[in-house]
């Protein structure tokens, strides 16, 4: 398996524009997680899905953020409208439902909003 695949790797956009980040989890994993990494706040969980259903979205900062998982092999994180403070590295990770297994991370998308 190629691992968790995220696209794009880098995104530069202007304030107010819509941004869509994409993630393909590892085949067979039934959990998918979106994290955000910033210098100030470290790694924050934004939302996670189980079997394509959102389980906990308490980490989503504002209504400008939304996430979907239309099927087991694809998820999106959308920011509309984007703001400079959204600049961060966004990671997608996937895993199985057992408590003792690790999560597998993608390479991340570095978002810069100017």
Contact present, 39 and 21 (Cβ < 8 Å): no
Toward another protein, which CB reaches closer, 67 or 93? 93
We find the least distance from the C-beta atom of residue 47 to another protein, in angstroms, to be 9
Q: 23 burial class (0-12, 13-18, 19+ CB within 10 angstroms)?
A: buried
Tell me the CA end-to-end span of the chain in Å, nearest whole number. Answer: 36
We find the least distance from the C-beta atom of residue 37 to another protein, in angstroms, to be 9
Chain residues in the site for another protein (CB under 8 A):
4, 31, 33, 35, 42-43, 45, 48, 50, 55-56, 91, 93, 95, 97, 99-100, 102-108, 110
Q: Residue 109: beta bridge partners? A: 90
In whole angstroms, what is the distance from residue 89 CA to residue 45 CA? 12
Toward another protein, which CB reaches closer, 45 or 81? 45
We find the least distance from the C-beta atom of residue 100 to another protein, in angstroms, to be 4
Toward another protein, which CB reaches closer, 59 or 81? 59
We find the least distance from the C-beta atom of residue 114 to another protein, in angstroms, to be 20
Which position has the token pair 């993630």? 23
């Amino acid at each position: 398996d190629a691992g968790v695949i995220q696209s794009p790797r880098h995104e530069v956009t202007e304030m107010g524009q819509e941004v869509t980040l994409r993630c393909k989890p590892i085949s067979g994993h039934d959990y998918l997680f979106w994290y955000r990494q910033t210098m100030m706040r470290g790694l924050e969980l934004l939302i996670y899905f189980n079997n394509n259903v959102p389980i906990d979205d308490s980490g989503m900062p504002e209504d400008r953020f939304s996430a979907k998982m239309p099927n087991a092999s694809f998820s999106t994180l959308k920011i509309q409208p984007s703001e400079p403070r959204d600049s961060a590295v966004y990671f997608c990770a996937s895993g199985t439902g057992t408590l003792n297994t690790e999560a597998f991370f993608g390479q991340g998308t570095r978002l810069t909003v100017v």
